[in-house]
Amino acid sequence: MIRESHEGRLNELIPIRVSRMVGSPYGFLRGTAVVMAEDVARLPSTGINPVICGDAHLGNFGFYASPEGELVIDLNDFDEAHPGSWEWDLRRLVASIWVAGRENSCSEEECAASVMSCVAAYRSEVTFLAEQPLLLRSYNRLDVKRLHETATEKSLRAEISRSVKRARGRTSDRALPRFTREREGRRRLVNEPPLMTRVPDQDAEQIAAGLDGYLDTLAPHWRRVLGGYTVVDIAQKVVGVGSVGLRAYVALLEGSSADDVLFLQLKQARRSVLARHVHGESAWHDHQGQRVVEYQQALQTVSDPLLGWTSVDGRQYYVRQFRNMKGTVPLDAIDPAGLEDYAGIVGHLLAKGHARTSGASMIAGYAGRSDKLDRAMAQFARAYADQTEADHATLLRAVRLGTVPITDGALDRPVSAFRP
């Protein structure tokens, strides 16, 4: 399945993707949504199919700026978003909590406590929202102020404060010194291969034309605003784990002055790994970039107002701001008590996303008010953490045998499981 998922990716970037996956079982889990989708789709499910994230692991929750400039926390990766069983998202989340807990040196009892905290919060939130008017469900969100009130562990609150400070600094103007250089009086994106590479002029022209088409997918106000910007330069940039090898570009735009800058990111969108497992719903969107955008807007309470989609050279993309105060809580800095607390927060956020689309009352009725679902998911999470470690070991063997490519020396270098 991993080799199949590499088809259509840029061959020269596949070794980087594999290198990030072999670093740890958690890195493997991050990069193999396709494997887990195959696994969970074979398990019993209720048949209640809201829009789901499709890749709801612990690291795919984070901060970003609302259209009003407020910092909020929510799900923040939607490449695999698709109608599907709510259990699939919850299973992926709890498995990732257990795997991450082990890599943070948590005991099995502490991992179980974190998973049960997550599922209990999910049950509580979906039950609450199922009893609310549909419009209220759509307004419910978790901003930084409420997040500080929700987090009870001092260690987690300290990490949240540090993460918020970093996120507030991740803006387009502050990215200029990091990602650009001035040459002959004009700004140019840096060339740092293989992670950031200037694209040939012909490709840049095609991408710029794609951005013109992207404007038509925006709301009229934002279309007018972006119409005042000019594309200055474009580079290919490697991001994430699961996305590595797919085409992803950063475009530098200038507005009314040289200091009025905006970074846009184009990411290639392909069919969700869930689509083959959901009968009759896989063809809802002919354009996969449109699918990502619409389902992101369905799952998030507030979204980037510059979200849109386009096509370039026959490939489909979604477009978003590259720097709009995005950030995450570093999982390797959270102690066991903090992990349990944070697991409850992300369980709450996942339930909020599911309840915004459909089936909230049915999910709440099935989940109930006892801890039966919590205990069942904890049992699953431990078993799947074991499976993830076994699968990771299989990938390591394949790398050592040379059947899967990897960057030179990657097996000898320490790799962060959480921040590749």
For the chain, 420 residues long, give each residue's pLDDT as a single digit of tens.
999 999 999 999 999 999 999 999 999 999 999 999 999 999 999 999 999 999 999 999 999 888 888 888 899 999 999 999 999 999 999 999 999 999 999 999 999 999 999 999 999 999 999 999 888 888 877 766 666 567 777 778 888 888 888 888 887 767 778 888 888 778 899 999 999 999 999 999 999 999 999 999 999 999 999 999 999 999 999 988 889 999 999 999 999 988 899 999 999 999 999 999 997 655 578 899 999 999 999 999 999 999 999 999 999 999 999 977 888 888 888 999 999 999 999 999 999 999 999 899 999 999 999 999 999 999 999 999 999 999 999 999 999 999 999 988 777 665 555 554
* 3-class DSSP state of 295: helix
Whether residue 405 is preceded by a cis peptide bond, meaning omega within 30 degrees of 0, is: no
User: Is the CB of residue 189 less than 8 Å from the CB of residue 196?
Assistant: yes
Whether residue 194 is preceded by a cis peptide bond, meaning omega within 30 degrees of 0, is: yes
Q: What is the pLDDT of residue 420?
A: 46
Q: What is the 3-state secondary structure (H, E, C) of 14-28?
A: HHHHHHHHHCCHHHH
Closest CA to 3 of 26, 21, 25: 21
Q: Which amino acid is at 312?
A: V
Distance of CA 398 to the CA centre of its chain: 27
* 3-class DSSP state of 52: strand
Q: What is the pLDDT of residue 149?
A: 66
Q: What is the pLDDT of residue 411?
A: 73
User: Is the CB of residue 54 less than 8 Å from the CB of residue 272?
Assistant: yes
Q: What is the pLDDT of residue 187?
A: 87
Q: What is the pLDDT of residue 139?
A: 83
Backbone angles phi, psi at 248, to 5 degrees: -140, 130
Q: What is the pLDDT of residue 135?
A: 84
Residue 389 burial (C-beta neighbours within 10 Å; 0-12, 13-18, 19+): middle
Residue 220 burial (C-beta neighbours within 10 Å; 0-12, 13-18, 19+): exposed
Q: What is the pLDDT of residue 137?
A: 84
Distance CA 411, CA 396 (A): 9
Q: What is the pLDDT of residue 150?
A: 72
Distance CA 95, CA 340 (A): 14
Closest CA to 148 of 3, 380, 345: 345
Q: What is the pLDDT of residue 415?
A: 53
